[in-house]
Structure 1
Amino acid sequence: MSNDTAMHASPEVKRAQKRANKSSSQRRTKRKVFDEGQTDEERRLLRVEQRNIHHVLATGAYRTRQRGQETQEEEEDRPTLEGVRDTNNELFQHVSYTRELVLDADNVVLLTNNYAKQVEQSVQVPRYDAIKVISALKKQCTMRKDGNTFFDWATLGVQTGVCYNAVPSKVVFAAGKYEVGIAAKPKKAREAKVKDTSEAVRPDEEKVVAKGDKATMSVADTCVSNMRKRITEKYNANISIKEGAPAPEPLDPLEILLDPKSFTKTVENFFYFSFLIKRGNVGVDKNWGIRYEMSKDNEPMGEHRQAFVHLNKKTWKRMCAELEARKQAVAS
């Protein structure tokens, strides 16, 4: 190549020529994993210790007996697998380059394999391979007859059938015992449906037995009867007081129906009072508002109607205040 050709060469060609002129030792660079902070001598000593750990794990030169059973010489000369693991973890703290990192990875793989071997040794379960099984079968099922040796398949079939019906020794199933009978659930006998012909009873008409020889009567009838007795007593007392008057004045319902101590009891009194109006035993005096008067001789009145009364706690408190004001006015 002439000088003119070299002068007009592209930049890519020039970079390729420079790379070709460099030696392999000059192109080699050190690849680090973490910060350097280590000399070549420190790295060499670290690799020596890592290789020693690799040798111990590869040859199994560590204590395998349980703690407290090893001799004094073994305790001094041979480290435990846990000690080898701790030493490898301490060396890993000083690993900064890929070369040492590869050695540490190899040691971790060997540690895992050795721990797996220890676990297998701790499980004392008899193992069987194909050769042992075949030898045992030949020993148990080989028969000799008329100078000929043959394999007794009938005996093998009998022994195999036993295996299907029994659980082998030293075998544990994760889901529990193999031979566990299923508890039969009692089957409910079918019963013919019987049509209920009894009469439905409302809760407020529940039958109760009165004391003595009185006939049975419902709860609602009992309460209505008691309410009627109270009204009759008040009405008769009013007649005796107003004996000279042409007709007794209607009674004030607040004195009978209103309970200043219980809102619920007041509602019940109004409820039972409505039954007396429905049956025609009590009438409401329109001139006096919610006052009532008994019919003569306790006979049902000719015309009777019911009305809805909105009663809440606010109205109840106002009625209690009205009743208290009336009592004070009478006392004064």
Structure 2
Amino acid sequence: MSENAPIDIEVILSPTSKINQVDFESITFGSTFSDHMLQCDFRNGSWEKPIIKPYEPFLIDPSAKVFHYGQAIFEGLKAYRDAHDKLWLFRPDQNYDRFNKSAIRMAMPEVPREIFLDGLKELLKIDQQWAKGGVGNSLYIRPFMIAIGSGVIAAPSTQYRFMILLSPARSYYSGTVKVIVSEYYSRAANGGIGAAKAAANYGAQFYPTKLANEKGYQQIIWTDDATHGFMEESGTMNVFFRVNDTLLTAPATERILDGVTRKSIIQLATDNGMKIEVRPVAVAEIIEAAKTGELKEIFGAGTAAVINPIVGFGYRDDYYELPEQADSFALKLKSQIIDIQYKNAEDPYNWTVEVPLT
């Protein structure tokens, strides 16, 4: 396929819709899916014709390499319906570019733009009724790719399946979030796959997160693998620290995911005149700032929650509660991003992309 060719896609519509069976007011994040899905296979060195078809299970060989060697990557983005009933994506080009960076790192084929982006728009047009209006409502989009080639020899697959699923969503997190700073477990290491959205990155987090949950914490602030002396990410999100009126966040390295929301926050904070430093953030300086009262806020940033304030953190045998801020940077920045996503404010950055619905 050429980069600029119109997409040639087969569409098989579901004879019935399950949308009327869904309670959109009480949806659990990521558990309900729309009527259709996009699928496109890579075989014999090239991508086949993509197809949009009813959401359904599919058969796969037990020796498929995704099961044995973990060749699996994914992305996460959302579609938002504005007050004029139009549907918008937020910086989808960034997700497309990052998806293919992940593919390269995992020795998987890059997905052509027309399959990823044009195919997504076509899928959204078909299942547009699953995107409900109102701030807080969205349609979560999960593109992913797995190795479907059979055989247990330790080598990259020659066959892959790219898919896109749609899942109606409301606010991802509720309640307060407390985190514990890791002194042993790390999310990723230099030379590893931390900068890729590889499934293995997330599966490896489950056990240490379970241990944190047992101590009364919802998430972990991951530290660097070499010294555990630097803050890196919080759970599955990038993390920001406000010390006095300066925002601190770690640079995107081979250990840290280059988050789309993270980049948007950095841009907005800069344009708001907030002082922001993108640099290694030492555990010791955050502990000291917490003791002196200079640590004002900590918040996670990611697609699902946009910005998730953290009310306190544990480190070793101590717990540090953060004071409520009348001038919360987290809430201000979250409001600005959401206003752009739902087209309730100007978008001077051209971050939003309209989905043609007719």
The structure carrying a bigger helix percent of its residues is: 1
* Higher RCO (CA 8 Å, separation ≥ 6 residues): 2
The structure carrying a bigger strand percent of its residues is: 2
> Highest Rg: 1 or 2?
1
TM bin (shorter chain): under 0.3
| TM-score (normalised: structure 1) | 0.17
